[in-house]
Amino acid sequence: MAPIICIDGPSGAGKGTISQLVAQYLGWHLLDSGAIYRVLGVACLSNSVAWDDIPAVVAIAQTLPVRFEPGTEGMRVLLGGTDVTQAVRSESGSRGASAVAVHPEVRSTLLDWQRTFAADPGLVADGRDMGSTVFPAAELKVFLTASAEARAERRFQQLLERDENVNFPRLLEDIKARDARDSERDASPLCPAEDAIIIDSTLLSVDDVLEKVLALVAQRGIGKRTTG
């Protein structure tokens, strides 16, 4: 089995950025599991399927024609032949992901597929339940968190850079609502795996967090560079 590093935590904690940098540093594969839930929410919308219509959502999840391809500004997400990168990253993409992710039937449909991303030389898996459910035997599990205010502020800046029309109080409210939905659901709720190392990034820069994660990687002897 390929070695695995799980980076779980709430939205806006910096998991995506840190996972990408760790994967790049090690020359490992990357699984952005949130993108899978996001694209599923978007696919439901484009097929006029309600996010709470469980059998219909499962049917779409079973044959989701999604491809992730490296683009000039990070990963491009293709659904069928259509580029849905913007739609999956929008606030409606976030709401759809969180709404379809509450259903245990949907989560179990996506489980085996997520596990197929574990391949040599190794995998960095970014999500909510990577360490607790999808890869319980991972070599390293990090739970990256930050205050809701710090996460909303980071998201606010990101959306401003993309010229999206945003409102900070609404964003903070959305983040809190999504945290509650992700943490209180019965299926794979958002919580650190028992053996996860918790890092609070509220007052840390990206470089500080990366340094901490790479120190853990090195301590456990899983930091051997395989490329470059």
Q: Residue 186: phi, psi to the nearest 5? A: -75, -35
Q: Does 34 bind ligand DC (CB under 6 A)?
A: yes
Q: Does 127 bind ligand DC (CB under 6 A)?
A: yes
Contacts of 118 (CB under 8 A, 6+ apart): 1, 2, 4, 125, 135
Whichever of 147 and 223 has its CB closer to ligand DC, that residue is 147
Whichever of 170 and 224 has its CB closer to ligand DC, that residue is 170
Closest residue by Cα to residue 174 from 43, 11, 7, 40: 11
Q: Which residue has the tokens 């999500």?
A: 127
Least gap, CB of 189 to ligand DC (angstroms): 9
Kindly state the tokens that stand for 74. Answer: 């990070």
* DSSP assignment string, 79-148: ETTEE-HHHHHSHHHHHHHHHHTT-HHHHHHHHHHHHTT--TT-EEEEESSIIIII-TT-SEEEEEE--H
Least gap, CB of 11 to ligand DC (angstroms): 4
Closest residue by Cα to residue 94 from 57, 148, 41: 41
Kindly state the tokens that stand for 119. Answer: 């391949």
Whichever of 3 and 14 has its CB closer to ligand DC, that residue is 14
Least gap, CB of 30 to ligand DC (angstroms): 13
Q: Does 132 bind ligand DC (CB under 6 A)?
A: no
- Selected from 101, 138, 144, 193, the binder of ligand DC by CB under 6 A is 101
Residue type, 182: D
Window of 55-63, 96-104, 139-147, 166-174 that interacts with ligand DC by CB under 6 A: 96-104
Q: Does 155 bind ligand DC (CB under 6 A)?
A: no
Say if strands 4-8 and 66-71 run parallel, antiparallel, or are unpaired: unpaired
- Selected from 22, 38, 43, 57, the binder of ligand DC by CB under 6 A is 38
Least gap, CB of 107 to ligand DC (angstroms): 7
Q: Does 103 bind ligand DC (CB under 6 A)?
A: no
- Selected from 6, 7, 18, 33, the binder of ligand DC by CB under 6 A is 33
Least gap, CB of 75 to ligand DC (angstroms): 11
Least gap, CB of 228 to ligand DC (angstroms): 27
Q: How far apart are CA 160 and CA 162, in angstroms?
A: 5
Binding site for ligand DC (CB under 6 A): 11, 33-34, 37-38, 94, 97-98, 101, 127-129, 178, 182
